[in-house]
Structure 1
């Protein structure tokens, strides 16, 4: 996996850092107004009826606040939040252990649910619908199924790849929230709040510069703010706006918010493959990165910014992407579609 500054994979100390900045309620949560409104109605209706909220699926690119919203759901309902993840549940027995430990009303948060083992997914169908699981005892002809009743709970699941979830699982969620990339104005609000909490006094023009280069992602915005804070501590008196630009230059974040891997992908398509099309696996091998990282982390932003396009024949650099990669003469986009 890449270790580039702005890639949204969280490490241990970064999780602690992000946790310190994490809002504790829907009222404090910045951005995603449609999702916030939908969740507010869902949670208030459940409270008025004195029941657990429906199961909730949070879908969207990394770093947009899925984990934060899961924690807020627990806070807003006054329930304990139990944490797990898809990669940690590789057998039905793993899921059975998690579910049997729940108490009535608990919120179970499963991150990266699309990476859960298929056998566990099939067990989860019954658990979500009837709050019951069947435990198989014995083998062969003597095997028997023992039903185990579960305490009523609310499953909050997060995924960056909702298309990988089987339909029977998706259909059992009462509400699916689709999180979108943030616009610069919302990112500026996120950065003003974070800068205040961190004690980093930045003028408005410095906040605007940071927001513009944060790829529409709050997690990235907070990480860049952290690096800017370090720069200003090491280089006092360098001027806040110039300090922001120098820090981002040092950490390889360009004017468009692209980092080393983003530029490597664009440069490879533009120069080595003459603008494309090129297949994902070939592209991943060419830049020395996992195909999943390129597809889930790099491509969404490049496509959103109009620098990259996906076609039936493979990935191609758009005219804007070719220009960003320094290609002056190139075929038109239509010729490569």
Structure 2
């Protein structure tokens, strides 16, 4: 087939099918998070015995740990349909009212990044979660009236990467809050093993361990790296058990042996070579790297701090001795510039 004869829609559907196949469909298939799985299983079993919708669930934790997958599992194991939405898409109370009023009895509503909802929508959600009712304002000014609208009972599953940004009244209305933790290497190896079977990639235990080691404790990253390894083996051939091929594939995509990517290393390199290891303010660091401060703070910094390559102090960010060792730079006294606006 010629290149211009390829159907982009068919390609997209294939990718979506692969993504769907990589997601487990039950708590028994879900790898990792044993405490959360046990808590969810109890909650769902109790709801099933009482023949009622499950309590509202808040899933909190870093990106890529399986919050969306768990929401899909809640709906699947409850035998209920699932409605998907997101906080940024609900910017007016009317958006939420239209969504809630269209729910069927017992339906599971999943709102991703729920902390990014508009404040007016959050306030409407309080009453909906507690009493399955919303108040619709009709008219303006002195003639405005409030009309109550009853809702079908539903289960709300909210996901957030920043639970601290949720107002207390909203957080308190969830019957159960699950805190997802980063995965250990052994759990990630099991994730890679399962996904490799789905993708039809033969990998040795050492190759799976190599991918898991570079996955930053995150299943989503493990699956993404596995797909790049699959592509490399497909193009270059060779045995799937070749650990060197796995290393070559990940090196091609700038993923080093401990999972740092190009931006991670750029931040450390500038922090050490330009600012003598710090301390340096986030604003100065982001301008020097040429990346948004939010990206550095939410994507780069958490992993560097977690693995001990960066520290946060009242005076700014600093590089640790381990960071110097990883980059192969001799330690030096901090001579960095501090952006006072970032203190």
Same fold per superposition (TM over 0.5): yes
Quote the residue 1:260 is aligned against.
262
Q: Which SS does the other structure have where 1:269 is aligned?
A: helix
Of 243-252 and 268-277, more deviation after overlay is shown by 268-277
Shift of 1:86: 0.5
Shift of 1:167: 1.1
Residues 117 and 260 from structure 1, CA distance in 2 versus in 1: closer, same or farther, beyond 3 angstroms?
Answer: same
Q: Aligned partners of 1:16 and 1:59: how far apart in 2?
A: 27
Quote the residue 2:78 is aligned against.
77
Q: Structure 1 residue runs of 4+, over 3 Å off?
A: 11-17
Quote the residue 1:247 is aligned against.
249
Equivalent positions of 1:271-290 (< 5 A) are 271-290=273-292
Q: Aligned partners of 2:115 and 2:15: how far apart in 1?
A: 23
Q: Aligned partners of 1:321 and 1:154: how far apart in 2?
A: 45
Equivalent positions of 1:112-151 (< 5 A) are 112-151=113-152
CA contact (8 A) 1:232 1:240 kept: no
Equivalent positions of 1:58-73 (< 5 A) are 58-73=59-74
Q: Aligned partners of 2:128 and 2:76: how far apart in 1?
A: 23
CA contact (8 A) 1:307 1:318 kept: yes
Shift of 1:103: 0.9
What is the TM-score when the length of structure 1 is the normalising length? 0.92
CA contact (8 A) 1:61 1:296 kept: no
2:308 is equivalent to residue 306 of structure 1: yes
Q: Aligned partners of 2:65 and 2:16: how far apart in 1?
A: 14
Q: Aligned partners of 2:230 and 2:205: how far apart in 1?
A: 15
Shift of 1:269: 1.6
Shift of 1:329: 2.2
Shift of 1:143: 1.0
1:122-142 superposed Cα distances (whole Å, 9 cap, x missing partner): 111111111111111111111
Quote the residue 1:161 is aligned against.
162
Higher relative contact order (CA 8 A, sep 6+): 1
Residues 13 and 300 from structure 1, CA distance in 2 versus in 1: closer, same or farther, beyond 3 angstroms?
Answer: farther
- Structure 1 unaligned spans of 5+: 1-10
Shift of 1:12: 9.5
Quote the residue 2:179 is aligned against.
178
Quote the residue 1:328 is aligned against.
330
CA contact (8 A) 2:321 2:331 kept: no
Q: Aligned partners of 2:287 and 2:57: how far apart in 1?
A: 36
Shift of 1:112: 0.6
Residues 198 and 263 from structure 1, CA distance in 2 versus in 1: closer, same or farther, beyond 3 angstroms?
Answer: same
CA contact (8 A) 1:18 1:219 kept: no
Q: Aligned partners of 1:286 and 1:167: how far apart in 2?
A: 37
Aligned length: 323
Quote the residue 2:4 is aligned against.
none
Q: Aligned partners of 2:140 and 2:63: how far apart in 1?
A: 42
Q: Which SS does the other structure have where 1:328 is aligned?
A: coil
Quote the residue 1:91 is aligned against.
92
Q: 2:294 aligns with which of 292, 295, 320?
A: 292
1:75-125 superposed Cα distances (whole Å, 9 cap, x missing partner): 010001100000100111111111001011010000011111111111111
Equivalent positions of 1:169-208 (< 5 A) are 169-208=170-209
Larger Rg: 2
Q: Which SS does the other structure have where 1:201 is aligned?
A: coil
Shift of 1:51: 1.3
Quote the residue 1:43 is aligned against.
44
1:6-48 superposed Cα distances (whole Å, 9 cap, x missing partner): xxxxx99866543220000000000011110111111111111
Residues 15 and 265 from structure 1, CA distance in 2 versus in 1: closer, same or farther, beyond 3 angstroms?
Answer: farther
